Amino acid sequence: MKKVFTIEVNDKHLLLKFEGRIRLYEVANYEKRVATLQTKRVKEITIDITSVEEMDTAGALFISDIQRAFHSKKVILECSNEKFLSTLKLIEENRPNYNKNYISEKSSFLEKIGKIFYDYYEGFIAFIEFFGELFISNLRYLTSLREIRYKEISFEINESAIKALPIVALTSFLIGLVIAYQSAYQLKMYGANIYIVDMLGISIFRELAPVITAIVIAGRSGSAFTAQIGSMKITQEIDAMKTMGFEPFAFLVLPRIIALIITMPILIFVADIMAIFGGMIVANVDLSISPEIFIERLARVVAAKHFFLGIFKGPFFAFLIATIGIYRGLMVKDDTQSIGFNTTKSVVESIFAVIVCDAIFSITFTNLGV
């Protein structure tokens, strides 16, 4: 039996003519052709299925979807088969009220700009709502310490921090190594070898270690928060928790935020040690500065305030990373593609937020003379 699908466009009229059969196997190919249509100038659509001899439920749904996709235009259905007409009528009366967008009409430049701004507006409102709910939950649970899920917090400390120690340590060691190596050549030219200790101490303690640690945690733990909560949302585990009377914020949100706030200063401390160690190796090998001299000058020249300022940034970075990661997880829709999209946005937004926060701290501390 022949299977023919022809498309004719005349001025402002579009003809979709089907012949032979419209079944599940044919629908996939037909959908691709219909999706490529540009119908902005078309005023009238004719769907001709008078020559169709076989049509299963998938085919009937396909025809119904086309009718709904063109709902803003005049649609004429030509069909002489009463069985097909009754099937289409039954589908229209009983299917959910939504439009499957087979037709991708070109939007104007202003429409695209407006949609972008509207999406940002919706995202901002959703984040404010999430932040407000988070604030209320924090007040409720912090005033009643017995309700805090200590077991979940300890689990998240292990998952998001302790297991992240190796990658944080290695990354920081390499950063210290590279910074020292790149600086050694310039310092050697001016005979200022010993000043590598000052440069490494201040830059690592104050800026590099906190920011590098936050970026690593954003890519590792922040993305994990998004993927975990997003998967739970797709599998309706969060809805099940609400049905059983459990508060998702108590089990999913607060333990992750508290765990990261507790452990971020520890991770920054480890990053400080490893980065300084990497720089000390280069100073010894390339500039002939012994570890004893390096440590002695580090303790004498680099003030303790630089170390504590870096540690001080940790909880703020942790709060931003955990909050954005969890928020993006809750924004996941009912499809796996949404997990990847929101996980990517989680990492990018977390890193951006950390850099902005660090810039604010740097300007503030400088103006305060700290």
Tens digit of each residue's pLDDT (9 = 90 or more) over 275-298: 999 999 999 998 889 999 999 999
Does the residue 102 lie in any domain?
no
**Nearest Cα residue to 280 out of 266, 264, 261, 296:** 296
Q: Report phi then psi at 4, rounded to 5.
A: -125, 135
Q: Are 249 and 152 in contact (CB under 8 A)?
A: no
Shared domain for 26 and 121, answered yes or no, is: no
Shared domain for 138 and 175, answered yes or no, is: no
Q: How far apart are CA 331 and CA 22, in angstroms?
A: 38
Q: How many domains does the chain have?
A: 3
Q: How far apart are CA 48 and CA 291, in angstroms?
A: 85
Shared domain for 41 and 54, answered yes or no, is: yes
Residue 174 neighbours by CB under 8 Å, 6+ apart: 278
Please name the amino acid found at residue 319. Answer: F
Residue 340 neighbours by CB under 8 Å, 6+ apart: none
Residue-number span of the structural domain to which 327 is assigned: 148-368
Q: 257: which 2 tokens?
A: 């935020």
Pairing of strands 13-22, 4-10: antiparallel
What distances in angstroms separate CA 347 from CA 45, 48, 102, 189, one per listed residue? 45, 50, 32, 40
Q: Quick one: pLDDT at residue 148?
A: 75
> Could you say which residues of the chain have pLDDT below 70?
1-3, 36, 38-40, 95-107, 142, 145, 147
> Which among 145, 175, 205 is the end of a domain?
145
Does the residue 101 lie in any domain?
no
Does the residue 119 lie in any domain?
yes
The DSSP letter of residue 108 is P
Q: Quick one: pLDDT at residue 99?
A: 52
Q: Quick one: pLDDT at residue 280?
A: 94
User: In b/e form, how buried is each residue of 270-300, taking b as 16+ CB within 10 angstroms?
Assistant: bbbbbbbbbbbbbbbebbebeeeebeebbee
Shared domain for 195 and 59, answered yes or no, is: no
Shared domain for 70 and 186, answered yes or no, is: no
- Burial classification of residue 214, based on how many CB atoms lie within 10 Å of its CB (0-12 exposed, 13-18 middle, 19 or more buried): buried
pTM of the complete model: 0.69
